Chains A and B, each alone.
Chain A
Amino acid sequence: MRIALFITCVNDTLFPDTGRAVVRLLERLGHEVVFPAEQTCCGQMHYNTGYRRPAAKLAVRFVKTFDNADAVVVPSASCAAMVRDNYPRLGATGSRLSRKMADLGPRVYDLTEFLVDVLKVTDVGAYFPHKVVYHPTCHGLRFLGLEDRPYQLLRAVRGLELLELPGATECCGFGGTFSVKNGDVSAAMGFDKARHVTGTGAEVLCAVDNSCLMHIGGTLSRQRSGIRIAHIAEILASTEKEYAHT
């Protein structure tokens, strides 16, 4: 299958390892990955902060860039939700643009959804000998409805010990510009999330959104907790071969 990767601006700039992991993983599973060069950002930050027009411009760019793709895989639940839930609201009702957006939406997948629902695979042949805790991000949990897909994938990883995160369904407090507009509340939420993570005894915190991980990870790092963050793609891409080399 030919899969178009939408890397997202945050991953492209700050977490290229996640992108490399997605490519490695999908190619290992026997698929072709393409990276349409015209892509930039989905416009979520603009949209969520109330800047509709620039968000709509980025939505148009996204539609133009990915219009012909059979499947668009996004290693970010929140960006996938932006495209699927919010793009149709950006075009005028009944316009050609809103029809195109509504048409493209169902072909846009979060990575874990794509693996489980489209490729029908839960054991991706990964090896990751660590204690891991999974934080279900709000967009994965409540907007995309990923349910237990990420857990299915993680449980099939050899060597991985999956620990339970108390208060898992509660928001970490990132919320895009919320993290600075309401920095104090955001930090209070992040502290509580970090406390729950630390309490599990995990070595690695993983999620389907690097932006949330950047917030929780930034808090864990400030607390010198020793816990590292990893996008779920990096865990799923990891194999025994790589561990043998290190």
Chain B
Amino acid sequence: MSATFLGLPPFPEAAREAVGDSQTRHNLHKATHTIRGKRDAVVGELGDDWQRLRSAGEQVKTHTLRHLDHYLEQLEESVRRAGGTVHWAADAAEANEIVTRLVRETGEQEVVKVKSMATQEIELNNALEAAGITAYETDLAELIVQLGEDLPSHILVPAIHLARSQIREIFLDQMSEWGVPAPPGLTDDPKALAEAARVHLRELFLRAKVAVSGANFAVADSGTLVVLESEGNGRMCLTLPETLISVVGIEKIVPTWSDLEVFMQLLPRSSTGERMNPYTSTWTGVTPGDGPQNFHLVLLDNGRTDVLADTVGRQALRCIRCSACLNICPVYERTGGHAYGSVYPGPIGAILTPQLQGMSSEADRTLPYASSLCGACYDVCPVAIDIPEVLVHLREQVASSPGHLGEKAVMAGADAVFGSPKALDAVQRAAGLAGGNVPRHLPGMAGKWTDTRDVPDVPGESFRRWWNEREEER
């Protein structure tokens, strides 16, 4: 059975493990800083144009989301007119049922997959496996994760937590279980690893009759779907099989073809740090004699309309899955993606996961707190999602839910102290009298501070006392 995110520990607990893992910390530091550098260069070269592009991207997305009912119907009509079939899935279970049925109807037992966040979100591979259908991931990093029975830890680079030597081991151990084995003398040279993957995948591309994809964008007025990728493996899946099934979140719509010009700049520069991604595939329904002759679009809600109803939280639906917020995030850099317990890690995951699936579990309720609110994510977001604002908004929902009694007591105490200057003065005096006798190791939550940091001595006299004495002397 493939790996699943279900039942992983709350963020602080998972993070404690992760920050102690020296190999992962090294891999993540190296990878995130490399991508950061590339992104900074290609964003910087645009000068003031970048902010204008960013603002245009934000506006297109905001407009589309405000009129989503209209654009969804337009997209459905456009895709049908172009020869495709449109299916509506309210949740993950329904989407998985639809895809499983569509694959069964072809009589095939296997599918090749284009890298897709939507199908990861609904854990489609597990559902297909349960129905006796094998799904082969063809994106290099997704292939590594799948072969290693691991979980993706990054939106763009799912195997970012692994080093080359670890990938070599996985290829040598696992490729033979799934198809063409890795060559015996495989080294960890990137070229050799890529060649092993190429040979392994080529057989699948030539054999597969059914492909499953997602889409980066869906153009409402033409019915065109768009996938941006680096390897060309996606294009193999999108062109060679007879049947193509695309699972697409309802927020992926842009109104017109010309809106793409904004996102074709924003996305590659923000994600891989390139001016332009190597492969951009677009398809509109079915073209007789060219490419898949059966095309199905599965439009996925899975919590999105609930997010749309939240006036603060809905901006998260503008996300184009570029990963710039992950790469810049000092928390993500130190914990990696698995700690977030979701296919969407990092800052965007911390606001998307709790909104899409609710915060019924303790693990989900820790996600909005998985940030120091440093604001770097908002700075780099190509569609200007104010992630800190949404984090605080979600924290308000957690704080107003039952539980957290210790924290509530602390907050109520602070509320009382700050409710009057007199109360504050009394506390300052008491603390000042204790002065240098503050223990080096504090109990309870405060122990989290003194475990690693010294506490400053409390001065004998507060500023306000000093000020009052000075005023009296005058």
A51 near B16: Cβ-Cβ < 8 Å: no
B231 contacts which chain A residues (CB < 8 A)? none
Kindly supply a per-residue 1/0 record for chain A positions 207-246, scoring 1 wherever the CB is within 8 Å of any chain B CB and 0 otherwise: 0000000110111011000000000000000000000000
Query: A138 and B374 in contact (CB under 8 A), knowing A37-B464, A187-B452?
Result: yes
Alpha-carbon distance between A24 and B452 when the two chains are bound, in angstroms: 34
Q: How far is the CA of A179 from the CA of B412 in the complex (A)?
A: 19
CB distance from B350 to the nearest CB of A (A): 11
Contact A51 B456 (CB under 8 A): no
Contacts of A139 on B, CB cut-off 8 Å?
Answer: 375
A52 to B397, CA, bound (A): 10
Confirm or deny: A198 has a beta carbon within 8 angstroms of a beta carbon on chain B.
Answer: no
A92 to chain B, nearest CB (A): 13
Asked whether A51 and B462 contact (CB < 8 A) given A142-B379, A183-B452, A218-B454, the answer is no
The reply to whether the CB of B258 lies closer than 8 angstroms to some CB of chain A is no
Using A142-B374, A178-B371 as known contacts, say yes or no to A51 and B467 having CB atoms under 8 A apart: no
Complex Cα distance, B420 from A39, in Å, reads 8
Residues A176-210 near B (CB distance < 8 A): 176-191
Stretch at the interface among A42-50, A66-74, A101-109, A121-129: A42-50
Within 8 A of A (CB), among B84-131: none
Q: Is B375 a contact of A49 with CB atoms below 8 Å? A: no
Question: Is A116 in the interface zone, CB < 8 Å from B?
Answer: no
Contact B369 A182 (CB under 8 A): yes
Residues of chain B contacted by A184 (CB below 8 angstroms): 12, 15-16, 19-20
| Cβ A40 vs Cβ B463 within 8 A | no
B11 beta carbon closer than 8 Å to chain A: yes
In this assembly, does A98 line the interface, its C-beta being within 8 Å of a C-beta of chain B?
no
Q: Tell me the dominant secondary structure on chain A's binding face.
A: helix
Cα distance A51–B315 when bound, in Å?
22
A175 touches B374 (CB 8 A): yes
Q: Which residues of the other chain, B, contact A12 by a CB distance below 8 angstroms?
A: 424, 428, 462-464
Other-chain contact of A219, B399, B400, B424, B452 (Cβ < 8 Å)? B452
Q: Which residues does chain B contribute within 8 Å of A182, judged by CB atoms?
A: 11-12, 15, 331, 369-370, 372
B468 CB contacts on chain A under 8 angstroms:
37
CB contacts under 8 Å to A, within B361-417, are 368-376, 378-379, 389, 392, 394-400, 407, 411-412, 414-415, 417
* A39: B residues at CB distance < 8 A: 421
Question: A171 contacts the other chain (Cβ, under 8 Å)?
Answer: yes
Complex CA–CA separation, A142 to B330 (angstroms):
15
A40 touches B375 (CB 8 A): no
- B449 close to A (CB within 8 Å): yes
Known contacts A45-B414, A49-B411, A187-B452; A180/B445 CB under 8 A: yes
Task: Confirm or deny: A150 has a beta carbon within 8 angstroms of a beta carbon on chain B.
Answer: no
Given contacts A16-B459, A49-B407, A217-B456, contact A171 B421 (CB under 8 A): no
Q: How far is the CA of A3 from the CA of B419 in the complex (A)?
A: 24
Judged by a CB distance under 8 angstroms, whether B458 is at the interface is yes
Closest chain-A Cβ to B378's Cβ sits at a distance in Å of: 8
In the complex, what residues of B have CB within 8 A of residue A173's CB? 330, 372
Q: A19: which B residues are within 8 A, CB to CB?
A: 463, 466-467
A50-B372 CB under 8 A given contacts A14-B458, A183-B451, A185-B19: no
Q: In the assembly, what is the distance between CA of A11 and CA of B59, in Å?
A: 41
Query: Which residues of A from 48 to 85 have beta carbons under 8 Å from B?
Result: 48-52, 54, 57-58, 61
Once A16-B466, A184-B12, A185-B335 are accepted as A-B contacts, the answer to whether A171 and B374 lie under 8 Å apart by CB is yes
A178/B369 in contact, CB under 8 A: yes
**B454 touching A46 by the CB < 8 A rule?**
no
Q: Give the residue of A46, A188, A215 whose beta carbon is less than 8 angstroms from that of B414.
A: A46
Contact in complex: B463, A183 (CB < 8 Å): no
Tell me if A138 and B375 are in contact (CB < 8 A).
yes
Judged by a CB distance under 8 angstroms, whether A117 is at the interface is: no
- Distance, CA A63 to CA B389, complexed state (A): 22
In the bound complex, do residue A218 and residue B334 qualify as a contact, i.e. CB atoms below 8 Å apart?
no
Q: Hey, which chain A residues are within 8 Å of B474, CB to CB?
A: none
Docked complex Cα distance between A43 and B376 (Å): 22
Task: Given A50-B392, A189-B334, decide whether A181 and B369 contact each other with a Cβ distance below 8 A.
Answer: yes
Q: Which of B445, B449, B454, B461 contacts A16 (CB 8 A)?
A: B461
Q: B448 at interface (Cβ–Cβ under 8 A)?
A: yes
Q: How far is the CB of A173 from chain B (nearest CB, A)?
A: 6
Of the residues A13, A50, A221, contact of B399 by C-beta under 8 Å:
A50
Residue of B nearest to A169 (CB): B376
Q: Which residues of B contact A51 (CB under 8 A)?
A: 396, 399, 411
User: Which of B378, B415, B448 is A46 in contact with, Cβ under 8 Å?
Assistant: B415
Residue A87 lies at the interface, judged by CB distance under 8 Å to chain B: no
CA distance A170 to B412 in the complex (A): 32
**What are 26 contact pairs spanning A and B, CB under 8 A?**
A7-B463, A9-B424, A13-B427, A16-B462, A16-B463, A16-B466, A23-B467, A41-B424, A46-B415, A50-B396, A52-B399, A54-B411, A58-B418, A142-B379, A171-B330, A177-B369, A178-B369, A180-B448, A182-B12, A182-B15, A183-B12, A183-B449, A184-B15, A185-B331, A214-B456, A221-B453
**Closest 5 pairs between A and B when the two form their complex, measured CB to CB:** A175-B372, A50-B395, A218-B453, A183-B448, A50-B399
| Interfacial residues, chain B to chain A (CB-CB below 8 A) | 11-12, 15-16, 19-20, 330-331, 334-335, 368-376, 378-379, 389, 392, 394-400, 407, 411-412, 414-415, 417-421, 424, 427-428, 431, 445-446, 448-449, 451-456, 458-459, 461-464, 466-468
| 12 other A-B residue contacts (CB within 8 Å) besides A20-B466, A51-B411, A183-B448 | A9-B424, A14-B456, A35-B467, A41-B414, A41-B424, A45-B414, A46-B414, A138-B375, A142-B375, A178-B369, A183-B449, A184-B12
